Structure 1
Amino acid sequence: MTDTESFPPDAALAALRSLRQSRRFLPDPIAREDLEQLLEVARWTGSAKNTQPWHLVVVTDRETNSALAGMGAFAGFLAGVAASIVVAVRGDGRSVAYDDGRLQERVMLAASHLGIGSGTAWFSTPENRQQVRDLLGMPAELEPWSAIGLGYTDTSQKQASPQLSGRKPLAEIVSWGRYGAQPSA
């Protein structure tokens, strides 16, 4: 059986289009087996020159996740997650940032496939990242830029403001062949 037979292209594209950030979760824990599956997906995520510049810290303790929630302007929702995966990277520059985002998106897609909601948190200042290092006992050479918050989405709560939930039409964000050009009929 080929990959497309086990996961038809239409289903794969629908899964990619439907992935959304979740920031409101039920209190239910995530099974360790599911977390391990997500970590396997992370392990097999590609990186620039296959450097795999990351170290992942899985946090299932609610108090620790609540502390992480206070360590960045875009981390507050971590207070309500069942688990988080803090992504710490070695090095700096564009390729490391790209690899961090690539890993997060892969894990989020895998989580969605398992029925688990997810969202990205950002530890945006050097002070925030040092707080994360101190809390989790990380060495100085690791930069904990982000975390993936995980849990079962509480669908009874609004997840995003209405102005953020839509998407711009393709004509606003895509050019064909040259900036500003649209395809000919």
Structure 2
Amino acid sequence: MTTRGSDLLALMRGLRQSRRFLDRPVPREDLEQILEVARWTGSAKNSQPWHLVVVTDRADQETLAGCGDFAGFLAGAPMSIVVGIEGPGRPGAYDDGRLQERIMLAAAALGLGSGTAWFSTPESRGRVRDLLGMPSALEPWSAIALGYTDTARAQAAPQLSGRKPLEEIVSWGRYGGRAG
């Protein structure tokens, strides 16, 4: 395996959700690199069904934090990227997830922390849409907070208890099948 491949695998294994950030702006050049990675994210039938809204206004961040059940940490982030997906219903979940993960990986590669927030109800998405002036054809399902992780505060938070062993989450050939 190449060094670059090893580095990418290590980055992917080490990626964690950040919810505590330093009060330090994200450099514009870094943001543009992240957005360029997002632009190249694959989507079903290359539909690219998204529109991204970059939010840097502190008051808007605080309002967004109140729009979702698990979005409170957005208030402490220097910025976020709200993902609007075209069309009604939830057919874009696959594309939304791919896009979020790419943004998070790009941020990590640049030394930034990131965390995803979810706007799960029609009411919460309506509030986000109204706040950001998004058209009704876009569903703002999620936002990704970006910033420098406050490692001192993050270490004080509860830590992950680890990961399930592969044998518990992987079957071979058929459900319940073991590696041969």
Please tell me the TM-score bracket, short chain as reference: over 0.9
Q: Which of 27, 30, 36 is residue 34 of structure 1 equivalent to?
A: 30
Amino acid at match of 1:44: W
Q: Give the C-alpha shift of residue 94 in structure 1.
A: 5.8
Deviations 1:45-75 (A, max 9, x none): 1111111000000001111111100001011
Taking the aligned partners of 2:179 and 2:85, their CA distance within structure 1 comes to 41
3-state DSSP of counterpart to 2:176: coil
- Please name the residue that 1:116 is paired with: 112
2:166 is matched with 170
Q: How far did residue 93 of structure 1 move?
A: 5.4
CA distance in 1, matches of 2:15, 2:170: 21
SS in structure 1 of the partner of residue 23 of structure 2: coil
1-structure distance, mates of 2:22, 2:80: 14
Where 1:157 maps in the other structure, the secondary structure is: helix
Q: TM-score w.r.t. structure 1 length?
A: 0.92
Partner of 2:79: 83
CA RMSD in angstroms comes to 1.5
How many angstroms apart in 2 are the aligned matches of 1:161 and 1:54?
Answer: 33
Q: Output the CA distance in 2 between the equivalents of 1:64 and 1:148.
A: 14
Change (3 A) 1:32 1:165: farther
Q: Residues of 2 paired with 1:23 and 1:105: CA distance?
A: 16
After superposition, residues 18-29 of structure 1 pair within 5 angstroms as: 18-29=14-25
Which shows bigger deviation, 19-28 or 89-98?
Answer: 89-98
**1:161 offset after TM fit, Å?**
2.6
Distance in 2 between residues matched to 1:31 and 1:152, nearest whole Å: 11
Paired residue total: 179
* Aligned 8 A contact 1:123 1:129 in 2: yes
Matching residue of 2:44: 48
Number of the residue aligned with 2:61: 65
1:48/1:95 contact within 8 Å kept: no
Normalized against structure 2, the TM-score is what? 0.94
Runs of 5+ in structure 1 lacking a partner?
Answer: none
Query: Which of structure 1's runs of 4+ aligned residues deviate more than 4 A?
Result: 92-95
Shift of 1:95: 4.5
Residue 143 of structure 1 is matched in structure 2 by 139
Q: Distance in 2 between matches of 1:93 and 1:150?
A: 27
